[in-house]
Amino acid sequence: MKEIGRRIQNIALLQGAMVKCIAVVLSGCGVYDGTEIHEASAVLVHLSRAGAKVQMFAPNVDQMHVVNHCEGKPTAEKRNVLQESARIARGDVSDLTKLDITAFDALVIPGGFGVAKNLSDWAVKGKEYTVQPQVEELIKGFHGVGKPLAMCCISPVLAARALPGCEITVGQDKECERWPYAQTATAMTELGCKHVNKNVGEVHIDVKNKLVTTSAFMCNAPIHEVFDGVGVMVTELLKLA
């Protein structure tokens, strides 16, 4: 009986060791000034379905600005990125300064204009942009210890700056109704990255850098196609973790 008990304990320990701990970095709440909510939800659903343990983080800073999402126009209001991210996290979100890389197996950053406004200044400076120091240090930190990263929509621009020469996808490089932001792909190439054209349900895996990217809402696609593409990204990330 004691031997059986030990075996059961060992199995439980092995199962616990197999659970992946994933850090998810948010940039607010809402496509025009924060995290794209559907992308964040898709990431969380697919991670949950895979049995991963998730902790969400966000920088405790003011947003670049607040956008009225009915009109698509900025307002005079001020909001905090961490407090807004708590809306997506159902209150369970921590200050980015508390993220301990040693406690996690991988990092995910969903898209949304918050990436380009609050995690970087891509939205206002284009190719002359910088990444928020905390965020850049985090990406380099995960990369430096060989832990994988996943980014979707516009968030691969963070990797483009933090990991020069990396391989990414933000979708397609020919602008059309389905791909209205294709110029981003061109900009990534001009920055020295290798951009790989992929459809919304596909990902690109930069094996050398353990970086998984997908276009998500860089494509004017139905929400279920974006959801499925994010699912592929999560699946491939967990294989690397």
Catalytic positions, written as ranges: 153
52 by DSSP, 3-state: which? coil
H-helix or E-strand containing 3? helix 2-18
Kind of pairing between the strands at 149-152 and 106-109: parallel
The CA angle 102-46-60, to the nearest 5 degrees, is 50
d(CA 165, CA 167) in angstroms, rounded, equals 7
The Cα 6–Cα 73 span in angstroms is: 62
- Assigned token pair, 6: 């030990």
